[in-house]
Amino acid sequence: MPDTFKPWERQPAFTAERLSKIVTALRDARDDALNTYEPLKGETNWSLGSSKYDRSKFCIREMSRSNPTWLSIVPERSVQRCTFAIDGIPVRFYHQGADDPPGKYTLSTEGEDRQYQMLFEVDGVPFFPTLFRLAIKDYATGKAESITLVEFDNTGAVINEYSIPFGVASSNVIPLEAKPVNLGPVTLEPVESERPDEQTGNDESDNSNTGTK
Amino acid sequence: MTKATTPIPVQSELLWEPRQVFWGARLQIAREFKEHTQKMLADKVSASPALVSLCEAGIKNPSSDLVQAFGEVLGFEPEFFYHEVEDMFHEEQCSFRHRRSAREHEKAKIRAHATLIGMVIGRLKSFLKFPVQNIPHFPLSRRTASEVEEAAEACRKHWNLGIDGPIMQIGRAFEHAGVIIVPHLVKTTKIDAFSRCGPTAVIFLNKTIHSESRWNFDIAHEGGHLVMHPGIETGSIETEREADRFASAFLMPRKAFSRDFSVGDAADWRHIFALKRRWQASAGAIIRRAYDLGLIDAVRYRKAYKHMSFHKWTVSREPEEPAFQEPEILSGALMSLGNRVKTTLDDLRQQLHFKPETFREVTGVVVPPAKLKLSPVISFSR
């Protein structure tokens, strides 16, 4: 499939910068797991895979805490499942080729369905009838080689792919935002004839009439 | 030799003396404020409804005991009825933001309440320097949406608010322009707000529906009537739509809002609520504004509205309501009595001839019982 697909044209939330930030963090987390992998102490491919998955989940959760404006965790019934949302659009990741996804990843989860309902959905028809996944491909050494954003239609067929570059520099463009207008309170001055006399020691009863002290 | 007769002390039994003309309009205001029909009042004072009607019309001058009875039933001192209404809130000056099911007696009560508040403010103005009324008037000639947008922008410019940023204290923007905002109204969900354009411009806010962002919109909506519809009968679909558009444009000026709206994903409620926090307007108002400005299409607008209806946000409190800046002029003026001005709350109540309970109902402020002022001089005992 030609790599002409631009995710941000399909979903403005999927900016190159955000996607790169996520996949770079995923790659680093998974490579860290690989660095601590010790087959000589009894670890196996199974434990390595589990470690990579758990570290990936952890790093996404941590990222969502530091980038709460655009990244969030989508609650799922199964605690093992990791679904996150970029500006509300749900995404999951799997470890396999982009063109060869595990069957369960071509179906939407409960959390994703709920998330799509949040996207202006109430009457049962999905607003965005496609699913987004990150397909993680490793080198033979186990290090992350590439991470691809894959879009599936509702039959599970791949309709778009985008290989996400690692380490895209953060933009230093800050959206122009006008300052809010803050207004002070209106103060009412008494007319001359109503100004109280100089304070004396017996003005307690005056204050009591206002109900405040 | 004639036998000396003792005069029957009819008048002397009364604690007050009628001095002037009886003002029927005051009786009507008091009756409507207490939500009494003429028949109900007549039953309570043992008179005929026709007599009450004639008294209100100013055709019949009621006897002193009847006036006293009126006062007792309606919560006013008898003297209340012997002063001219200096600033009557006439129907043509008043704008209601209400549902079609709002009843006439509810509207009459609010008008009466507003007139009584007008009396309170009238008295307060003799003790305190209120802001000078500075409401720009932009009557609409073409009555188009763009003309309303221009009126809202011109109004913001007139008050030096700029047309870029959100206004964090919408009530203060109007209070600085001399508009009195009264935050309590009858307990009804049928009427959202009410305003009056006249010598004393007043906006009444109904806080029965607890939604701060809606209150902001209501204030701006009523402000729209004050700016665009002085002397025009409001309440039609057109005038209400214009006031709604004015409120949207005043709270969310088109250029700045479009820029903010387009930065995020229009399909994501989190973006809508982020805008809500920034612009202090309800999510519903934001969605509508986006639709009016062509930032979302009809399908998305409809989906959003259905979503809001599903969650009952259209009729009750939305999530993530902004902090609301309470109106300050009226409460500040009342609180300064006895503090920063010599006249006390009780003095004011007596000058207005309201009974304490009525004063509380009208102003929302309880008059504390006047304490005896102790003399600083202690006399020597003999």
| Residue B319 sits at the chain A interface (C-beta within 8 Å) | no
Write the pLDDT tens digit of every residue in B13-26: 555 555 578 899 99
- Residue to mutate among A199, A209, A212, A213, with most B CBs inside 10 A, is A209
How many other C-beta atoms are found inside a 10 Å radius of the C-beta of residue B178?
Answer: 16
DSSP code string of B270-287:
HHHHHHHHHH---HHHHH
Write the pLDDT tens digit of every residue in B157-186: 999 999 989 999 999 999 999 999 988 765
How many other C-beta atoms are found inside a 10 Å radius of the C-beta of residue A10?
Answer: 18
CB atoms A211 and B365 under 8 Å: yes
Distance of residue A25 Cα from the nearest chain B Cα, in angstroms: 23
Write the pLDDT tens digit of every residue in A81-107: 999 999 888 999 999 988 888 989 989
CB atoms B168 and A180 under 8 Å: yes
| Residue A119 sits at the chain B interface (C-beta within 8 Å) | yes
The shortest CB-CB distance from A88 to any of B130, B168, B268 is to B268
Distance of residue B353 Cα from the nearest chain A Cα, in angstroms: 18
CA dist B65 and B4 (Å) reads 27
Share of chain B above pLDDT 70, in %: 86
CA dist B191 and B99 (Å) reads 6
- State the pLDDT at residue A171: 63
Distance of residue B255 Cα from the nearest chain A Cα, in angstroms: 11
| Whether A101 contacts A135, CB under 8 Å | yes
Chain A residues in contact with B373 by the CB 8 A cut-off are: 202, 205
Rounded mean pLDDT, A9-30: 91
CB atoms A181 and B162 under 8 Å: yes
Contacts of B311 (CB under 8 A, 6+ apart): none
Looking at A6-20, A150-164, A184-198, which range is the least confident one? Answer: A184-198
| Residue B265 sits at the chain A interface (C-beta within 8 Å) | yes
Q: With cut-offs at 50, 70 and 90, classify the pLDDT of residue B70.
A: very high
Query: Of the ranges A147-156, B153-162, B209-218, which is most confident?
Result: B153-162
Q: With cut-offs at 50, 70 and 90, classify the pLDDT of residue A25.
A: very high
Write the pLDDT tens digit of every residue in B270-279: 889 889 989 9
Distance of residue A171 Cα from the nearest chain B Cα, in angstroms: 15
Using a 10 angstrom Cβ sphere, with 0-12 exposed, 13-18 middle and 19 or more buried, the burial of residue A204 is exposed
Residue of B nearest to A85 (CA): B268
Using a 10 angstrom Cβ sphere, with 0-12 exposed, 13-18 middle and 19 or more buried, the burial of residue B13 is exposed
| Residue A79 sits at the chain B interface (C-beta within 8 Å) | no
Could you give the ipTM of this predicted complex?
A: 0.77
Q: Residue A53 phi/psi, 5° resolution? A: -65, -45
Q: How high does pLDDT run on average in chain B?
A: 85
- State the pLDDT at residue B11: 45
In this predicted structure, the answer to whether residue A186 has a pLDDT above a threshold of 50 is: yes
Question: Which amino acid, one-letter code, is at B16?
Answer: W
Comparison of pLDDT for A125 and B9, the residue scoring more: A125
- State the pLDDT at residue B14: 54
CA dist A65 and A87 (Å) reads 14
What are the tokens at A89?
Answer: 């659009």
CA angle, A58 as apex, A57 and A60 as ends, to 5°?
A: 65
In this predicted structure, the answer to whether residue A50 has a pLDDT above a threshold of 70 is: yes
Sheet containing strand B94-98, strands side by side: B94-98, B191-196, B202-205, B180-182
Distance of residue A54 Cα from the nearest chain B Cα, in angstroms: 27
Query: Strand pairing of B128-129 and A89-95?
Result: unpaired
Q: With cut-offs at 50, 70 and 90, classify the pLDDT of residue B131.
A: very high
Looking at B110-119, B162-171, B190-199, B343-352, which range is the least confident one? Answer: B190-199
How many other C-beta atoms are found inside a 10 Å radius of the C-beta of residue B70?
Answer: 25
CA dist A157 and A129 (Å) reads 12
Residue of B2, B59, B3 whose CA lies nearest to B28: B59
CB atoms B345 and A186 under 8 Å: no
CA dist B112 and B204 (Å) reads 12
Query: Strand pairing of A158-163 and B191-196?
Result: unpaired
Chain B residues in contact with A202 by the CB 8 A cut-off are: 373-374, 376
| Whether B95 contacts B235, CB under 8 Å | yes
Q: Where are the domains of chain A?
A: 7-163
In this predicted structure, the answer to whether residue B268 has a pLDDT above a threshold of 70 is: yes
CB atoms B329 and A188 under 8 Å: yes
The shortest CB-CB distance from B129 to any of A189, A196, A205 is to A189
Query: Of the ranges A69-83, B92-106, B144-158, which is most confident?
Result: B144-158
Rounded mean pLDDT, B107-125: 88
Biggest CA pair distance of chain B: 105
Assign residue B186 a region: left if phi > 0, alpha if psi is -120 to 50, beta otherwise? beta
Contacts of A38 (CB under 8 A, 6+ apart): none
The shortest CB-CB distance from A207 to any of B166, B339, B343 is to B339
Distance of residue A86 Cα from the nearest chain B Cα, in angstroms: 10
The shortest CB-CB distance from A182 to any of B169, B307, B341 is to B169
Residue of B57, B61, B65 whose CA lies nearest to B31: B57
CB atoms A209 and B175 under 8 Å: no
Alpha helices, DSSP H, located in B125-268: 145-158, 170-175, 212-228, 237-251, 254-263
Q: Which pairs with CB-CB distance under 8 Å and at least 24 residues apart come from A176-181?
A: A176/B259, A177/B260, A178/B162, A178/B164, A178/B165, A178/B166, A178/B256, A179/B164, A179/B165, A180/B165, A180/B166, A180/B167, A180/B168, A180/B278, A181/B161, A181/B162, A181/B165, A181/B166, A181/B167, A181/B168, A181/B173
CB atoms A212 and B339 under 8 Å: yes
Chain A residues in contact with B274 by the CB 8 A cut-off are: 69
CB atoms B300 and A121 under 8 Å: no
Residue of A nearest to B128 (CA): A190
Looking at A8-12, A90-94, B359-363, which range is the least confident one? Answer: A8-12
Chain A residues in contact with B290 by the CB 8 A cut-off are: none
- State the pLDDT at residue A139: 87
CB atoms A13 and B268 under 8 Å: yes
CA dist B110 and B104 (Å) reads 10
Interface of A with B in 86-115 (CB under 8 A): 87-89
**Considering just the CA atoms, what is the radius of gyration of chain A in Å?**
28
Distance of residue A14 Cα from the nearest chain B Cα, in angstroms: 10
**Considering just the CA atoms, what is the radius of gyration of chain B in Å?**
25
